[in-house]
Amino acid sequence: MRVTFTVNGRRHEADDVWEGESLLYVLRERMGLPGSKNACEQGECGSCTVRLDGEPVCACLVAAGQVEGREVVTVEGLAEYARERDGSEGRGSTGDLAPVQQAFIDAGAVQCGFCTPGLLVAADELIERNPQPTDADIREALSGNLCRCTGYEKIMDAVRLAAARADDSAPEVV
Partner 1 sequence: MAPTTGPGRTPTQLDQGADTKGGVGESPLRPDGTLKVTGEFAYSSDMWHEDMLWGCTLRSPHAHAEIVSVDISEALEQPGVHAVLTYDDLPTEMKNYGLEIKDTPVLAHGRVRHHGEPVALVAADHPETARRAAAKIKVDYRELPVVHDEESALAKDAPLLHPDRDDDHARHVPHPNVVHRQPIVRGDAGAAARRADVIVTGEYEVGMQDQAFLGPESGLAVPAEDGGVDLYIATQWLHSDLRQIAPVLGLPEEKVRMTLSGVGGAFGGREDLSMQIHACLLALVTGKPVKIVYNRFESFFGHVHRHPAKLWYEHGATRDGKITHMKCRIVLDGGAYASASPAVVGNAASLSVGPYVVDDVEIEALALYTNNPPCGAMRGFGAVQACFAYEAQMDKLAAELGMDPVELRRRNAMSQGTLLPTGQAVDSPAPVAELLRRVKAMPLPLEAQWETVGGEPDVRALPGGLSNTTHGEGVVRGVGYAVGIKNVGFSEGFDDYSTARVRLEVVGGEPVAMVHTAMAEVGQGGITVHAQIARTELGVAQVTIHPADTQVGSAGSTSASRQTYVTGGAVQHVCRLVREQVLERGRERFGTYHPAWASAELLLEGGKVVTDGGEVLASLVDVLGDEPVEAEDEWRHRPTEAFDLKTGQGFGHVQYSFAAHRAVVEVDTELGLVKVVELACAQDVGKAMNPQAVEGQIQGGTVQGLGLAVMEEIVVDARAKVRNPSFTDYLIPTILDTPTIPVDVLELADEHAPYGLRGAGEAPTLSSTPAVLAAVRAATGRALPRVPVRPEHIVEV
Q: Under rule CB under 8 A, how many of the chain's residues touch partner 1?
A: 60
Residue 63 dihedral angles phi and psi, to the nearest 5° = -70, 140
Query: How is residue 4 annotated by DSSP?
Result: E
Please, which residues bridge with residue 164 across strands?
A: none
Site string for partner 1, 49-88 (x = CB under 8 A): -------------------------xxx-xx---------
Contact between 9 and partner 1 by CB under 8 A: the answer reads no
Query: In the sheet that 10-14 helps form, which strands lie side by side, from edge to edge?
Result: 10-14, 3-7, 71-73, 49-52, 55-58
Contact between 163 and partner 1 by CB under 8 A: the answer reads no
3 state SS of 1: coil
- Which residues in the 117-156 window bind partner 1 by CB under 8 A? 117, 120, 136, 138-140, 142-156
Residues that bind partner 1 (CB under 8 A): 18, 20-21, 28-29, 32-42, 44-45, 47, 74-76, 78-79, 96-97, 101-102, 104-106, 108, 110-117, 120, 136, 138-140, 142-156
